[in-house]
Chains A and B, each alone.
Chain A
Amino acid sequence: MRLGKLLQLTQERIVLLLTVFMFLIFAATIDRFLQADNILSIVQNVSVLGILGVGMAMSIIGRGIDLSVVAVMAYSVAWALTLFNQDANLPLSLLLGLGFAILVGLINGVLIAYVEIPAIFATLASGTAVAGFGQFFLVDTDVVFVPRSIGWLASIGSGRTFGVPNSVISLAVVAVLLYWTLHRTVFGRYLYAMGDNPKAARVAGIPVRPMMLAQYVLTAVIAFTAGLVTAMAVDSMNTRVVNSTLVYDVILIAVIGGISLSGGRGSVRNVLVGTVMIGVLLNGMTMLNMPYTAQNIVKGAILLAAIIADSVFNPRDEQTSQQGDI
């Protein structure tokens, strides 16, 4: 029984195996792939993606989705940096930036929980609104640079501790905190319950609507954190990231690792597996000098393969998917 469970191929395990497989292939074919520096840069390059992915996973587990994360990340941090450049003090700038992110999270939550708009539309609209609002009122230039005077804060995104890039440590901290929140707190238990069966959660006495509010606020806070780490890593916040496909990559790493879009399933570990896989893949392809367009083809093909493999190995059986009598 135990052994059977261990051998069962979940999507997470399939992706993990695939990652190991790719890693071995790249290691055998690319000279410098196995160097410590390169291994670290694999993780470093995807650490911000990982942080966003962990936040996205949380909203998906609660049967939602948050498409506004990239806009929130870009403009809350860009605004905080702009304020700081205009001689506001650092804590105040950060607090206002964070406050902006929380406000967007609250608006998302109210739209979804109380106005009952589907999450995908509410956050798509709010993301666009945030970008527009940010461009018009908050941030003058597309790229806001991080001034030298930022001091200690720079270390969350750049530099190394005991040889490990600090951005990777930031990802680890966020992942551990969120893991603990999901599995050891009342909030986490409620979130899984809501994602699994919202009606049953309501009947059991879980405050479903306030929980949804909290869910989107927390996602926005994580997006702000991801933004800070990015900005500190590259010394600037480029708000043009809003127009990129970043948000799809974020959904990709969550889904590829096995966070079920139907809610209630998966955890932080799944996101990390997905993140490492994309990291290895992107790094290997770049080192092989593969053109960007070809990389996209590979990325898309792998996502499809993972989803197909999952539905082959774990078919939705009639017993669980159908209601009513046998």
Chain B
Amino acid sequence: MDNIIEMVDVTKEYRGIPAISKVNFTLRRGEVHALLGENGAGKSTLTKILAGVTQRTSGEVRFEGSPVNFAAPSEALAAGVAMVFQENSLVPSMSVAQNVFLGDETFFNRLRGKYIAAQQLMGSLNFLVDPWATVATLGAAKKQMVEIARAVRQNAKVIIFDEPTASLTPEEVSHFFALIERLKARGVSIIFIGHALEESLRIADRVTVLRDGEHVLTDHSSNLNREKIIQAMVGRSLSNEIYAPKAERRIRKPGPKALSVQDLSMGNIVRNNSFTVYRGQITGIFGLIGSGRTETAKIISGVEKRRFFHGGEVFLDGRRIRYRVPRQAVRDGIVYVTEDRKIEGFFDTMSISENIHTGYVAAGLAKGLVLRMDEMRELAAHWTSALNVKAINTDAHVVELSGGNQQKVVIAKSLVQQPKVIFFDEPTRGVDVGAIHEIHQLIGDLADKGHAIVVISSYLPEIMNISDRILVSQNGRVVEEFSPSEATEKRIMYAAVH
């Protein structure tokens, strides 16, 4: 087997901060190569450089032996490197066939021929996708098939999959693996970014692990197992420390009932969801993506627009509530800490102190209409030290911080609003390992102080480790409840997928 791609000492810096540094990576012809690592380890950056989406800062990339420098995805494609993204890049309003042939239209575009060609292509790949169907109407798995078909049609020699199985059901995952095998049989080389370790071990010939932007290990998957990979991913086995089942774990007793949700509904996403949240403990909600966890939290806290509230009742301390806008929820003491801090978390033109102070003012806690700058400084000083936000000073802009510190600022911005009920949606997504522990600690302290905490997470170890009660959400409703002592990964997963 010869190498189709060789990357030598490749470094990519964003604002002088390396996302990957001096990474060496080789892809052999016709192999399936899994790229593993935690969030922010640099997997996406590495593959984006290969696919021409971003450019490396230094180092060399060789494709089929000759040095290349793809300035744009189109150049990479022309050479034969295609990337299938996490968020797919199809045009939703066009048909499957149009998408497959996107960018390759002739001046007088005959659709009929395209449909026939697409039909044949789909057939040769064993895909059951109707070329006439509009892409918007397809599910996640079929959209992925369309993307793959597009890559195959463009004669891609290398296909990069960025977390392809994240949005698939177990059945679709097995279809996907069968497809990978077929592509491999056609001689296509595949890079596969994964989160699920067993899955990656099963499908990949070789595995490369990145950690904090550096290459840690590359080996044949037959020489590896889960423990070895985790060890490589987290290095100092810090992750084990964080997520190790503590024998003497203290489980908080439920306090008074804070929130009672009955038959909450929203379209197909939340279906007659009922559950209860108590003060003084952490209620963990586990579920796969699309199981309606986030939407449920957003309806309760008024973030989702009112017209999506399709029925059901929510009681806060026995009082019936239904919010039109988050403002009312915030004033009643219900806050939602977002899963996507860049989109609805912080204000990137503002400093740390302004971000925190804005939360305070918006909760109606500041007196009068004139801002008090001394109050802002005091709040910022108090909360940055309480949450251990690491920054040069509180005038630094939030965008300049690391993911973990950004998350802490977003949390501070909500805590300053003096909430009673707090929804943490994926509180440690894109957060550096050291900060994960601090954030968990913080959430635990809040529960000890009597707040009602809901943690939504799709990461099992996180849920199992910090929750005092575990709810499992599936298909729009809470289907199971576990106590931490009886919960095992298997049982939770079983409830979540069936």
Closest to B366 in A: A186
| Cβ contact of B42, chosen from A187, A318, A320, A326, cutoff 8 A | A326
A31 interface contact, C-beta 8 A: no
| Cβ contact of A192, chosen from B87, B336, B350, cutoff 8 A | B350
- Chain A residue numbers with a CB within 8 Å of B329 are 205
A294 interface contact, C-beta 8 A: no
Chain B positions 365 through 399: 1 when the CB is less than 8 Å from some CB of chain A, otherwise 0: 01011110100000000000000000000000001
A187 to B364, CA, bound (A): 12
Q: Are B39 and A204 in contact (CB under 8 A)?
A: no
Q: Are A197 and B347 in contact (CB under 8 A)?
A: yes
Q: Are A197 and B344 in contact (CB under 8 A)?
A: yes
- Chain A residue numbers with a CB within 8 Å of B39 are 325
A148 interface contact, C-beta 8 A: no
Q: How many residues of B contact A (CB 8 A)?
A: 48
| Cβ contact of B363, chosen from A205, A317, A318, A320, cutoff 8 A | A205
Q: Contacts A185-B371, A317-B15, A319-B14; is A203 near B344 (CB within 8 Å)?
A: yes
| Cβ contact of B347, chosen from A193, A208, A325, cutoff 8 A | A193
Q: Contacts A319-B14, A320-B399, A326-B45; is A205 near B371 (CB within 8 Å)?
A: no
How many A residues are at the interface, by size bracket? 20 to 34
A202 to B343, CA, bound (A): 11
Q: Contacts A204-B330, A324-B87; is A317 near B344 (CB within 8 Å)?
A: no
A113 to B366, CA, bound (A): 25
Q: Contacts A197-B344, A324-B86; is A189 near B371 (CB within 8 Å)?
A: yes
Q: Are B14 and A204 in contact (CB under 8 A)?
A: no
Which residues between 296 and 326 of chain A lie within 8 Å of chain B, taking CB atoms? 317-320, 323-326
Closest CB-CB distance, B412 to chain A, in whole Å? 12
Q: Are B344 and A323 in contact (CB under 8 A)?
A: no
Q: Are B45 and A323 in contact (CB under 8 A)?
A: no
Q: Are A196 and B350 in contact (CB under 8 A)?
A: yes
A319 to B348, CA, bound (A): 12
A264 to B15, CA, bound (A): 22
Closest CB-CB distance, A175 to chain B, in whole Å? 19
Which residues between 189 and 245 of chain A lie within 8 Å of chain B, taking CB atoms? 189-190, 192-193, 196-197, 199-208
- Chain A residue numbers with a CB within 8 Å of B346 are 197, 200
- Chain B residue numbers with a CB within 8 Å of A199 are 343-344
B345 interface contact, C-beta 8 A: yes
B165 interface contact, C-beta 8 A: no
Q: Contacts A187-B369, A317-B14, A326-B42; is A204 near B362 (CB within 8 Å)?
A: yes
- Chain B residue numbers with a CB within 8 Å of A190 are 361-362
Q: Are A319 and B325 in contact (CB under 8 A)?
A: no
- Chain A residue numbers with a CB within 8 Å of B19 are 326
A199 to B413, CA, bound (A): 14
Q: Are B349 and A202 in contact (CB under 8 A)?
A: no
Q: Are A318 and B54 in contact (CB under 8 A)?
A: yes
- Chain A residue numbers with a CB within 8 Å of B348 are 196-197, 320
Q: Are B44 and A186 in contact (CB under 8 A)?
A: no
Q: Are A184 and B15 in contact (CB under 8 A)?
A: no
Q: Are B413 and A204 in contact (CB under 8 A)?
A: yes
B340 interface contact, C-beta 8 A: yes
B52 interface contact, C-beta 8 A: no
A269 interface contact, C-beta 8 A: no
A86 to B101, CA, bound (A): 71
Q: Are A206 and B362 in contact (CB under 8 A)?
A: yes
Chain B positions 8 through 32: 1 when the CB is less than 8 Å from some CB of chain A, otherwise 0: 0000001100010000000000000
| Cβ contact of A186, chosen from B40, B86, B327, B371, cutoff 8 A | B371
Q: Are B40 and A325 in contact (CB under 8 A)?
A: yes
Most B C-beta atoms less than 10 A away, residue of A190, A206, A317, A319: A206
| Cβ contact of A326, chosen from B44, B350, B354, B371, cutoff 8 A | B44
Q: Are B366 and A319 in contact (CB under 8 A)?
A: no
A183 to B350, CA, bound (A): 12
Q: Are A326 and B347 in contact (CB under 8 A)?
A: no
Q: Are B40 and A202 in contact (CB under 8 A)?
A: no
Which residues of A come within 8 Å of B, CB atoms?
183-190, 192-193, 196-197, 199-208, 264-265, 317-320, 323-326
Which residues of B come within 8 Å of A, CB atoms?
14-15, 19, 39-40, 42, 44-45, 54, 86-87, 303, 325-327, 329-331, 336, 338, 340, 342-350, 354, 357-359, 361-364, 366, 368-371, 373, 399, 413, 417, 430
Question: What are 11 residue pairs bridging A and B, where the CB atoms are less than 8 Å apart in the complex?
Answer: A184-B371, A186-B366, A186-B369, A189-B358, A197-B348, A204-B359, A204-B413, A205-B327, A205-B364, A207-B325, A320-B399
Q: A204-B359, A325-B44, A325-B86 are in contact. List 7 more A-B contacts (CB 8 A).
A: A186-B369, A197-B346, A197-B348, A202-B326, A205-B362, A205-B364, A325-B39
